[in-house]
């Protein structure tokens, strides 16, 4: 079921180059943060329930509960549970919920004016506000019964505070001098 998540914050985007962890197959992916209990979250949960009811019928609630009880398989996660190495809630995740979506195929990435964006455009980036189209689908096979999410398209909507930007360079710390012709760096 195609679902549009409106004006969510983007985190961990891998939209232009597929990436993988360990031996896993590289995929394009993104994590979307939304206000817990907000309109987008509420619509997303309704869509998940609809997909589950269509596939699992009367057992939909039990399948969703089993998925939610498994922290590795939970589709929509609690932001306050995502912590850094020091135990602090990850930047931007406090009091939010989040969902990761991925795809083997590169998603469409567009501007607010629906023009195609490239990596060189610098948008979208971690922390900006985007609209995201995902495909919610039911898995019902020997590997288990779950609701999964495929990333289809991302629309940059507006700037937001960048995640993980780190410190910027202070060019005043460098001495000023002539360019050396010999090419030595030390």
Inside any domain, residue 173: no
Question: Average of pLDDT values for 131-160?
Answer: 96
Rounded to 10 deg, the angle between the 60-69 and 39-56 helix axes is 120
* Whole-number CA gyration radius for the chain: 20
Grouping H, G, I as helix, E, B as strand and the rest as coil, residue 85 is coil
Grouping H, G, I as helix, E, B as strand and the rest as coil, residue 110 is strand
Q: Does residue 155 surpass a pLDDT of 70?
A: yes
- Measured between alpha carbons, how far is 133 from 152 in angstroms, rounded to an integer? 5
**Is residue 99 within 8 Å of 75, Cβ to Cβ?**
yes
Find the length of the chain.
Answer: 186
The encoded tokens of residue 176 equal: 């000023």
Tens digits of residue pLDDT in 81-117:
999 899 999 989 999 999 999 999 999 999 999 999 9
Per-residue HEC secondary structure of 5-16 comes to EEEEEEEEEEEE
Cis peptide before 124, with omega less than 30 degrees from 0? yes
Inside any domain, residue 153: yes
In the structure, what pLDDT confidence band is assigned to residue 63 with cuts at 50, 70 and 90? very high
Grouping H, G, I as helix, E, B as strand and the rest as coil, residue 1 is coil
Inside any domain, residue 168: no
Q: What is the pLDDT of residue 181?
A: 52
Model-level pTM? 0.84
Q: What is the residue range of 63's domain?
A: 2-16+26-163
Inside any domain, residue 55: yes
Say how many domains are in the chain: 1
Q: Does residue 167 surpass a pLDDT of 60?
A: no
Q: For the domain that residue 124 is a member of, what is the CATH number? A: 2.40.50.140
Inside any domain, residue 57: yes
Tens digits of residue pLDDT in 109-119:
999 999 999 99
Q: What is the pLDDT of residue 21?
A: 84
């Amino acid at each position: 079921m195609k679902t549009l998540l409106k004006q969510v914050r983007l985190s961990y985007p891998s939209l232009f180059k597929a990436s993988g962890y360990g031996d896993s197959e590289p995929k394009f992916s993104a994590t979307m943060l939304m206000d817990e209990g907000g309109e987008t979250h509420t619509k997303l949960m309704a869509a998940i329930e609809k997909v589950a009811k269509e596939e699992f019928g009367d057992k939909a609630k039990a399948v969703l509960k089993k998925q939610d009880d498994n922290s590795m398989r939970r589709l929509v996660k609690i932001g306050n549970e995502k912590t850094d190495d020091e135990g602090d809630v990850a930047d931007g995740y406090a009091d939010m919920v989040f969902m990761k979506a991925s795809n083997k195929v590169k998603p469409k990435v567009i501007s607010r004016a629906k023009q195609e964006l490239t990596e060189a455009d610098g948008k979208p980036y971690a922390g900006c506000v985007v609209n995201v189209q995902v495909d919610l689908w039911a898995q019902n096979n020997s590997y288990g019964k779950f609701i999964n999410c495929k990333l289809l398209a991302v629309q940059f909507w507006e700037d937001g505070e960048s995640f993980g930007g780190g410190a910027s360079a202070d060019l005043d710390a460098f001495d000023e001098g002539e360019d050396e012709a010999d090419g030595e760096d030390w």
